[in-house]
Amino acid sequence: MKASEVLDTLKRRFPNEPEYHQAVSEVLGTIEEVYNEHPEFEKSNLIERLCIPDRIFSFRVTWMDDKGQIQTNMGYRIQHNNAIGPYKGGIRFHASVNLSILKFLAFEQTFKNSLTTLPMGGGKGGSDFSPRGKSNAEIMRFCQAFVLELWRHIGPDTDVPAGDIGVGGREVAYMYGMYKKLARENTGTFTGKGLEFGGSLIRPEATGYGNVYFLLQMLKTRNIDIKGKVVTVSGSGNVAQYTVEKLITLGAKVVTMSDSDGYIYDPDGIDREKLDYIMELKNLYRGRIREYAEKYGVKYVPGARPWNEKCDIAMPSATQNEINGDDARALLANGCIAVSASRSPASASMTARAASRSPQCSKACKAWRYWAFWAYQRPYRCQTSVCRAAGSWAKSRSAHSFIMWWKRKLTPSGRRVTKAFCWVRARSTSSASGRAVTARAISTVNSSASPITARKPRVFSGRDSSMAAVNMA
């Protein structure tokens, strides 16, 4: 299996689905080497069966608003894979929902569910209906109309939907009530229900708390205590609310939250009382985050995300693809040491600019990426097609031009660092001596006194963060 060929085939068969292509490319690049160690996988064509959903339901949802006007929206359910159990995944109600985004989410949900070790497959669904600005009666009528089309394809042993963006306990209650009438059964077909009719304890808190628990494990690898750290959080829905709640409990200082209109910055930090106000504002009154700024007299930035504020830790908790390359550089410039997210936070543009993740990538190429990121504060993009011959680029004219420009730009101490990397360029990186010189060059970077090249360690979360630009292996 060649990941690039599989991706090209999927792009040809399913054009105009960039989010889906992004998710597939990120995963295939990480499993290609292991997959190719098993010829029996290729014989059964497991890779296409893994990437292409089992089935997709697409339907029109017709409902009546409070003015008596008939409205239409599109509804979808992606049943991606049920190899280990019934399909399981949320339903999203948001104006941005389309087939590409749902295929992206269903694909990743399959892997997330398998990591729980529970017998659950992966799926996702939703509609381009937005609950924002709608009355309770309008939302109820839409949810009932949505389930009227979907109920035949779900069930406790078939497909178990849940909540997502725009779908909380209220929406799940409306959908489950309609499902019970149509299916004439009271089973656990929906998760995310209220405690009064079959819901689970700590279900609302689970995602936000899990986000913080993952962050704690990251910080533990560097012996960093979260107490007193300044944290920027995006979003103000279920995930963001309980992320902030757990951070407050652990002694961190949360300074931002956001919604689709903009973000608030509270330099004094969001405490328990302020968080209770946000929960009431969002969960009960369906208000906007700017009302927090009006109440407490803090900064509100419309139409922006909070990644330009100074922080120690960033926690994207709103939606996918929240951080692009510019955001990552802003976070680094402002002293951010860690990024942890409940969803894939890195945008497609950032992923494209990150260094190649091919398992065939040589250690010398990884050393070059390490240097380019730490010394230049930008991701280094491998110049070869499959990132397997970094030494060829290191000896090329483009590398020579880059090094000469870099020498003119840097201070004397920086020029010494550049000279060390000229050694890498002059050697064969496939040889033992080339690897030794590469290690020596990295050591030179780490010990340099230049404020440009000497950088303190930074911790980021996995392939979805800006640290994806630097594979330090």
Choose, from 124, 193, 246, 253, the residue flagged as catalytic.
124
Length of the chain as a residue count: 473
Query: Residue 392: which of 420, 369, 424, 416 has the closest Cα?
Result: 424
349's CB contacts (< 8 A; 6+ apart) are: 324, 325
Q: 392, exposed or middle or buried, with CB in 10 Å at 0-12, 13-18, 19+?
A: middle
Chain centroid to Cα 397, Å, comes to: 37
Q: What are the Cα distances from residue 60, in Å, to 16, 69, 175, 362?
A: 21, 16, 16, 50
Does the annotation count 363 as an active-site position? no
Q: Which two tokens mark 340?
A: 């942890």
Question: Which residues are tagged catalytic?
Answer: 124
